[in-house]
A and B are shown apart, each in its own frame.
Chain A
Amino acid sequence: MILDALILQTKLLLQDDMGITVNSVQSERGLINKLNMKNYTSMIGTGGKLSLLVIISFDNSMIDKLVDLFMDGVEIDSDEVLEIKDSVAGEMINTLMGLALPTFPGRGKGVTITPPITINDASTISKHKSSTIATAEINTNFGQFSISIIDSKNSNSQEK
């Protein structure tokens, strides 16, 4: 359910606000031991009534398109390019979580979110034995990215 809420908000944000077409979404749940990361990855943790890690990972062409849209003519110094791309990845997961939170169970009341955390130089993320993973691969006309949720509590795994 939470992954579905994030996918829905992602589609709405990309298509309605950014002019990016979502061509397909492939989701997978439960029987996943390892996530493969793309080029730019950011993560947010939730706390309070819902304890999850939410990870978003963009390929190069997707992040480049998002940087163009976010910056909209603002000049970027050459030594800022990598930080800007990380920052865009963080803003995207932050925005999507903000949009999706009111659609979570209980309207997200009592759920806190951390600031986005950039993950550098990671090619894979593996789960611990008791955690569960749900992931969605989103293909657009400008590139690909994934949204993944890691739940460390089996009791919540039915939620996803």
Chain B
Amino acid sequence: MLKVLVVDDSLIIRKKLSKLIENLGHTVVCDAKTGQEAIEAYAAHKPDLVSMDITMPDMDGITAVKNIIKDHHDAKIIMVTSHGQEDMVIKSIQAGAVGYILKPLTQEKLAQAIGEVFIEYAVEESDLLDDEI
């Protein structure tokens, strides 16, 4: 079971992602609405995985990734983004993120992204529910 930090300025995405993560058997240890909150939450909770929005007020997700990686080199961060932000995804990967999920969010996409980072959690597609938003 992974401890996960969910970072998104949108309440609906935080709630939906939390539900999908818990459906996969993992625990959301904290959520954050801004990049700065994410940095503080990471230091406080040391999660196994972070889901990180890219476009947020005050500090974007790429800057937050850089700041987290600077102090925690082994941090595992997956970006959550929309179509049309592929350039931002590339910048995020260059900053140290290990993967990304394109909205709309589904349990299948989330499980695949987690399985690519943590091989022990890789699952067969047929085991997944299609829970799209």
Contacts and interface: CB of A to CB of B under 8 A. Distances in A.
Contact of B84 (A72, A74, A90, A108): A108
Q: Is the interface of B mostly helix, strand, loop or mixed?
A: loop
Interface in B75-104: 81-85, 103-104
A17 interface: yes
Given A17-B104, A71-B16, A114-B55, A97 B10 contact: no
A87 interface: yes
A99 interface: yes
Nearest to B60: A115
A91 B53 CA distance: 12
Contacts of A108: 84
Interface in B8-25: 9-13, 15-16, 19
Contacts of B131: 72
Given A70-B16, A98-B85, A114-B55, A87 B10 contact: yes
A95 B11 CA distance: 15
Interface in A57-101: 67, 69-74, 76, 80, 83-84, 87-88, 90-91, 94-95, 97-101
Contacts of A102: 83-84
Contact of A99 (B15, B57, B84): B84
A87 B56 contact: no
Contact of B15 (A69, A74, A90, A94): A74
Interface residues of A, number: 29
Nearest to A116: B10
Interface residues of B, number: 21
A112 to B, nearest CB: 9
Contacts of B15: 71, 74, 76, 84
A50 interface: no
Contact of B83 (A67, A70, A98): A98
A88 B83 CA distance: 17
Given A17-B132, A71-B12, A74-B15, 4 more contacts: A72-B131, A88-B12, A101-B84, A115-B56
A69 to B, nearest CB: 7
A88 B133 CA distance: 11
A87 to B, nearest CB: 4
Contacts of A71: 12, 15-16, 133
Nearest to B16: A74
Interface in B95-133: 103-104, 131-133
